[in-house]
Every structure is written in structure tokens, then in C-alpha cells.
Amino acid sequence: MKTMPAEWEKQRTVLLSFPHEETDWADDLEASLSPFIRIAQAIAYGESVYILCKDKEKTASLFCSTHNMTFIEIPTNDTWIRDYGYISIKEEGVSKLLDFTFDGWGGKFEASLDNAVNLALHQKGYLGTTPMQTIDFVLEGGSLESDGAGTLLITSTCLCNPNRNGGLSKQEIEVKLQGYLGAQRVLWLDDGYLSGDDTDSHIDTLARFVNRETIAYVKCDDKSDEHYEALHKMEAQLQDFSTAEGKPYTLVALPMTEPIYNAEGKRLPATYANFLITNHALIYPTYDDKNDAKVGEIFKTIFPEREIIPVNCLKLIEQGGSLHCSTMQIAY
């Protein structure tokens, strides 16, 4: 029996990759460090965090306390470790790490260093004797949502894109996901996107399992917004989905922010769906938006047993990602 654990299941640690002078953050490096520091602190509040960095002493000096933090020097191209970090599975109850190929979201960006991170980290011994398998197949962590019981939620625009694996069909992708991750059911979203997103619509920007019966998703109520039609179709498709037991999912709508643009006038992919579930907390992105507090109250309702921790991620979306994109949990 093989399964991909849900994010709310027990975690061993969370991986985080820090900006440095050779990343796209170089032009405003000092300001870019702030959200990563806050995310690391929020994780370390309740569990271990492994911080990949260029200079571990310099990075550690940024923190008042380094409790639950381990600093590891590994070369990286960028910070979006959700997409190049290990994907955890359990096989016959034993944890295993899968090292899929990362090609910079379909060759959009240089990613050779990021693609080598998992092997380098494993060779350093930080994951102990946990077995790792390297797989010649392009698959990114942000493109997968698992309920921990054999159901995956994914988007066709990403997984079937010709820029990944040559453009496989849904059926071919499902065979791969069954073999690698033990997927028993695959729920395909065919609509939904965020302007400014480089990932070809990763599921973790649009819709997320929060338990086996509930999906939180991005909802657009403004008919004049460019996203309205696509997100309305996505909502309708979510309403048609059912659990493995044949019951409709409970759907929790997350509002959109007001449009946020960069200095060049490009709309940025701000999304509240890019939250991280840790052992003791729910860490969610904020954007200096009127809905920041409202979303916090929604999360308190969904996760009554967890600490709800907001982190300002305005700086992160300037580079196209947000909080969840910056992290990758390793399951026990």
C-alpha cells in the first residue's frame, strides 16, 4: 500500500530555501529576507525547519533565536522549494522521499541547481536513513493536493502541459500518479488561473484540501475582474466533485485580494490559498489587503485546534510565489 500523506498529517520537518545574491531577489535582497525570516519563525514555533542557504553563519545571524532551526549550505537557483523539494510518501507504512525532476516550470527559468538539491541534502545525511528515489519525471509539489487517503486534486493546465513530460494525457498522468504516489482517485480541475503566475496554474494557488471532506478555494465575486469567468467555472467543477464515499465536498470560499500590481504594472498572483499547515499551526499569507483579517477568521473556523499565524507576503508575490510555494514539509 502506497500513499501520499496529507499536509495535516504529522510532519518531521519543513524545508525552506533562503534568497541570496545569485537569485532573482538580488536587487532588493535585504527586504526580501523579511518574509522568509517570519515564515521560518512561524514554523519553528512548533516544529523543526531546515533552512537551505548560501552561508549558514550569516543566515543564522538574522534570527534572535534559532530554536528548531537547522541551517544547511546547498547551492540553489531560487527559493520555491515546494516545487523542487522531496515529495513524501508512505509505502507499507514506511516513509520514503521521492526526488522528481524539476525543470523550472516547463523550462521558463534556469533550475539545474534546484534540481540537484534533494540529492545533495540526502547525501549530507540530514534525513537519516530515510530512503530516497530519484525519478526521471517532471513533477512539482505545488501541483499536487492529497487528502492522505488516495485522492489527489490537480489541474490539467499544469500536469498535461506540453512543457512538462511532452504533454501527456490525463489517463497517462493518472497511471504515473498511481505508480509513484499510490493515487486511487484523481480529481482534475480544468479551469482557474491567477494572472502573473508562472506555474501554469498550480493547485496550491487555487484549491486546497483542509481535511478529507473539505476543500478551501479561491472565489471571485467581481464580474469585472479578469479571473471571474475561469474561477466561476472552477467553483462549479468543485461543486460536482464527491468524496470517495460519494458525498459532496464541503467547500470553503476564500476571497480574492484587491488587484495588486508591480512597478511595471503587471498584476501579481496574490492568493490566500497558498497557506501552510504545520504540526501546530496554520500559517497564511497576507497582502496588506482588506480581506487579510477576514481570511484569518475563516481559517480559525477551519482549523480550531491550530494556531493561526499571518505572514505578510507582498514581497514574495513580486517574484510570482507566496508562502506555501516557499516551503515543503517532510512527513514522518
3-28: per-residue pLDDT in tens? 999 999 999 999 999 999 999 999 99
Give me the phi and psi of 217, to 5 degrees please. Answer: -145, 160
What is d(CA 152, CA 23) in angstroms, rounded to the nearest whole number?
32
Question: In this structure, are residues 39 and 283 in contact, taking their beta carbons and an 8 Å threshold?
Answer: yes
Write the pLDDT tens digit of every residue in 166-192: 999 999 999 999 999 999 999 999 999
Give the 3-state secondary structure of residue 303: coil
User: How much is the pLDDT for 116?
Assistant: 98
pLDDT reported for residue 206: 99
Q: Taking residues 75-83, what's their average pLDDT?
A: 98
Widest pairwise Cα distance in the chain: 54
Residue 104 sits at φ, ψ, to 5 deg, of: 70, 45
Give the integer Cα–Cα distance in Å for 127 and 287. Answer: 34
| Helices marked H in 28-152 | 29-44, 56-60, 104-107, 112-115, 117-123
Q: 117, 126 in Cβ contact below 8 A? A: no
* Average pLDDT in the chain: 98
Give the list of residues 6+ apart from residue 246 with CB closer than 8 angstroms, or none: none
Give the start-end residues of each E strand in the chain: 2-3, 11-17, 49-53, 69-73, 87-91, 94-101, 132-138, 145-146, 151-155, 185-189, 207-211, 214-219, 250-255, 276-277, 281-286, 307-312, 327-331
Contact 82, 326 (CB under 8 A): yes
> Would you state the pLDDT for residue 293?
98
* pLDDT per residue as tens digits for the range 254-266: 999 999 999 999 9
Name the residue ranges covered by the structural domains of the chain: 2-331
**Pair 35, 2: CB distance under 8 Å:** no
**90: pLDDT confidence band, cut at 50, 70 and 90?**
very high
Question: What pLDDT is recorded for position 82?
Answer: 99
Q: How many CB atoms lie within 10 A of CB 317?
A: 26
% of the chain residues with pLDDT over 90: 100
Q: Are 15 and 328 in contact (CB under 8 A)?
A: yes
What span, in angstroms and rounded, lies between the C-alpha atoms of 273 and 298?
12
Residue with cell 459532496: 248
Mean pLDDT of 144-164: 98
Q: Residue 303's pLDDT band (boundaries 50, 70, 90)?
A: very high
Mean pLDDT within 107-112: 98
Percent of the chain whose pLDDT exceeds 70? 100
Residue 149 banded pLDDT, cuts 50, 70, 90: very high
Could you tell me the end-to-end alpha-carbon distance of the chain, in angstroms, rounded to an integer?
16
Question: Which of 3.40.50.410, 3.40.50.300, 3.10.20.30, 3.75.10.10 would CATH assign to domain 2-331?
Answer: 3.75.10.10
pLDDT in tens, 192-203: 999 999 999 999
